[in-house]
Structure 1
Amino acid sequence: MSRGVPASMLRGLAVALSLAVAVPAAHAATVAEVTALVEAKQYKEAFAAVKPLADGGDVRAMTMLGNLYRNGQGTEQSSDEARKWFAKAAEAGDAEAQFNYAMLLIDETTGTTDPAASAEWLAKAAGNGNTKAQYNLGLIYSGAYGADPDWPKAIEWFGKAAAAGNPNAQYNLGLVYLDGKGGVRYPVAAAEWFSKAALKGMPEAALEYGVMVLRGEGVEQNMDIGARWLRFAAEHGHPVAQNRLARMYAAGVGVKADPVEGAMWNLLAEKGGRSDSTLDEFMATLTKEQRKDAEKRAADFVAKPVPDFD
């Protein structure tokens, strides 16, 4: 007859089992929960939660961890660690990581750069539908980062990103068509893409589109609408737009002549680094009262915020 298990051991086993049931396993965060922590700017908590997920092979967590290392959020900033985690997620096919990894490879502040490898990763991210990668690939093919220009490819990639709604790509595609890069100018297409970027709030695009409307180039001429777009860009702090608007008010072209308004925009343009000898002559014709009024308006001016297009 075999000996039974001592009663004392059975009691100990029962206690252990009851504790195992009563104390649940530690809660493992999800990527969605980490995203919520990042959005709430609780970066230390986000880092602590996402690190185990990334170590466990979660691709999205790897990308998020790379972002936290790159930005120094919740941990010490480390471009090397950011590269490592972006590279892992990029190899696994994550388009955002492919883009971020590519951009770190051409970021001179991080140390060694590799433009050729960057272009390869941008191409992968662009092929996976990342519009920022498509736009930056367009920049590379237009001669950025020391590359030789390839305008047909620049137009191709700017076009993909522009069609997907990227305002930077829309603006740059407009410039390519306006300047005739690649051999042929397309003012109608340039105006179309400038208008799309302008409607998203880009001051540079608003300026270019406004000028085209004023000239009737690629679009029907309309002095009132053109002046409105110039004002939009000027109100958002664009010194070239401020200069052009000053000229219009000084000469009464496209708008009703207003010396004080013209002087105000000229003062703001000068402050932004856009001097104009013709407007210097105009300023000399102002009365002391007009000059004082213009200076006060310029001093009180606060540029409207520009949307973040990056």
Structure 2
Amino acid sequence: MDHVIASNITGELLYQVEKQPTLAKTSNPKVKKMLLKPLFSIAIFLLAFTSNAFAQLSPEQQIAKARGITLYNQYKTAAPELRIAAEAGDAEAQFYLAEELRKEKQLMTAEAQKWYEASAAQGDYYSMFQLATAGGDLCAVANKCPSGIKSAGDWLELLIKTAEPRAMKGDAEAMAIMYNAKSDLTWLEKSAEAGYAPAQWLLANRYSEGEGSFLLPWNRKSAEEKWLKASSEGGYPKAMIEYISILYERGDMEGVRHWLEIAAKTGYQDAVSSYGAYLSHTPDKVGYPIDLIKGYALISLLKELDGGGNVQVYVEGKLPLISEKMTPEQIAKANNFAKEWKATHPPLSFYPEKLGL
């Protein structure tokens, strides 16, 4: 990975130098070699920098990164944890830290831009995209880029230059990035066909919104269902919840129960809350055998999301409805079950889209 990124950076540097008037007008190979010599010294420096940037995190830094991403996905303050891994050079942590800083101020701050650029310099698609599209960057404010600062257009060009070769080689995530970069539905369709579950979910939604061409109207609905099912089978919980709605309307309660349980096991807040409510028959809408202990346990886990997504109102209203049917012994068992579930399942998450607002 290191040498690929270094190669990309060096390629970009070569491209920029080749545009310089002195070099462009020089046909003498000896002169050109002399002018290019500093470039290769810089490339060697970049390779060293990149290798350092991709150095493995220490166990403590890795724990901080994982904890930071969990907090970010729970709409909680994640910056202190993410900063530990970001300062150690982790590109993904740098991206999430920049996201939190930008969303906190609802605009591109200088610090957020710094972390996006650090991440983008290591080849991170998502950081490049945000630098290409987020408003309030230095160039937009000044209507001209200061020397050495890339404009939004420069970042978009670099994003495409980085992602397209990988997409052409079959990288499904790169194909999805190309869709975001070019707003060309063909790339999203290719990503879905290549098996990228988030792209399959997004494609189903784009079809639902009227994008794409279908000769027969009912083929659109069939395509939506096809991709929601494929994305669900690929483990994407947002798709599972939407696929459940289709199954519910069809009266396929067995399918509804199956996919709701699977979705809840991913830690997706929407699924955990519904699964717990239906297990405890508050209300009984899909035909689960009543399980007050498991239902209470799952709803009580949502207390962890205090401060994010307005979940506490739901928890405070739902838990009393379940507990009034239970004995103290059952509540004690539910609390133990909740601890076991938390220890053996992914953290609770709202699953925010990586390129969301």
TM-score range, shorter chain: 0.5 to 0.7
For residue 280 of structure 2, give the secondary structure of its aligned residue in structure 1.
Answer: helix
Q: Which residue of 2 aligns with 1:293?
A: 333
Counterpart Cα distance in 2 of 1:214 and 1:170: 21
Counterpart Cα distance in 2 of 1:56 and 1:72: 22
Q: Which residue of 2 aligns with 1:133?
A: 174
Instruction: Determine if contact 1:122/1:133 at 8 Å carries over to the other structure.
Output: no
How many angstroms does 1:279 deviate by?
Answer: 5.3
Q: Which residue of 2 aligns with 1:119?
A: 156
Amino acid at match of 1:240: D
Cα pair distance change 1:175/1:283, threshold 3 Å? farther
How many angstroms does 1:244 deviate by?
Answer: 0.8
Aligned counterpart in structure 1 of residue 189 of structure 2, from 140, 159, 181 = 159
Residues 221-249 of structure 1: CA deviation (Å, up to 9, x unaligned): 42122212111121221121011112221
Amino acid at match of 1:261: K
Amino acid at match of 2:200: Q
- The Cα RMSD (Å) is 4.5
Aligned counterpart in structure 1 of residue 271 of structure 2, from 216, 229, 241 = 241
For residue 257 of structure 1, give the secondary structure of its aligned residue in structure 2.
Answer: coil
Counterpart Cα distance in 2 of 1:287 and 1:224: 30
- Structure 1, unaligned runs of 5 or more: 1-30, 33-53, 87-96, 142-152
Matches within 5 A, 1:56-75: 68-72=51-55
For residue 301 of structure 1, give the secondary structure of its aligned residue in structure 2.
Answer: helix
Q: Which residue of 2 aligns with 1:259?
A: 292
Residues 162-218 of structure 1: CA deviation (Å, up to 9, x unaligned): 11222221122233334x2659994432332222222222233333323432333xx
Tell which has more relative contact order, 1 or 2 (C-alpha 8 A, sep 6+).
2
Q: Which residue of 1 aligns with 2:262?
A: 232
Instruction: Determine if contact 2:120/2:127 at 8 Å carries over to the other structure.
Output: yes
Q: Could you tell which deviates more after superposition, 280-289 or 270-279? A: 270-279
Instruction: Determine if contact 1:101/1:121 at 8 Å carries over to the other structure.
Output: no
Counterpart Cα distance in 2 of 1:250 and 1:187: 33
Counterpart Cα distance in 2 of 1:68 and 1:56: 16
Q: Which residue of 2 aligns with 1:43?
A: none
Amino acid at match of 1:271: E
How many angstroms does 1:124 deviate by?
Answer: 4.2
Cα pair distance change 1:73/1:200, threshold 3 Å? same
Instruction: Determine if contact 1:70/1:82 at 8 Å carries over to the other structure.
Output: no
Q: Which residue of 2 aligns with 1:268?
A: 301
Counterpart Cα distance in 2 of 1:65 and 1:196: 42
User: What number of residue pairs does the alignment pair up?
Assistant: 229
Cα pair distance change 1:299/1:124, threshold 3 Å? same
Instruction: Determine if contact 1:266/1:279 at 8 Å carries over to the other structure.
Output: yes
- Structure 2, unaligned runs of 5 or more: 5-38, 58-87, 90-113, 139-148, 348-352
What TM-score comes out, normalization by structure 2 length?
A: 0.50
For residue 209 of structure 1, give the secondary structure of its aligned residue in structure 2.
Answer: helix
How many angstroms does 1:107 deviate by?
Answer: 10
Counterpart Cα distance in 1 of 2:55 and 2:151: 23
Residues 240-294 of structure 1: CA deviation (Å, up to 9, x unaligned): 1011112221224331122222212211234345325355433333222222221
Instruction: Determine if contact 2:279/2:291 at 8 Å carries over to the other structure.
Output: yes
Cα pair distance change 1:265/1:81, threshold 3 Å? closer
Q: Is residue 227 of structure 2 the alignment partner of residue 197 of structure 1? A: no
Q: Which residue of 2 aligns with 1:213?
A: 247
Q: Percent identity?
A: 19
Counterpart Cα distance in 1 of 2:159 and 2:300: 43
What TM-score comes out, normalization by structure 1 length?
A: 0.56
How many angstroms does 1:156 deviate by?
Answer: 3.0
Matches within 5 A, 1:34-113: 55=40, 68-72=51-55, 77=89, 102-103=128-129, 105-106=131-132
Counterpart Cα distance in 1 of 2:173 and 2:152: 17
Larger Cα-atom Rg: 1
Aligned counterpart in structure 2 of residue 283 of structure 1, from 318, 323, 342 = 323
Instruction: Determine if contact 1:213/1:222 at 8 Å carries over to the other structure.
Output: yes
For residue 254 of structure 1, give the secondary structure of its aligned residue in structure 2.
Answer: coil
Instruction: Determine if contact 2:164/2:178 at 8 Å carries over to the other structure.
Output: no
Amino acid at match of 1:255: Y
Cα pair distance change 1:67/1:234, threshold 3 Å? farther
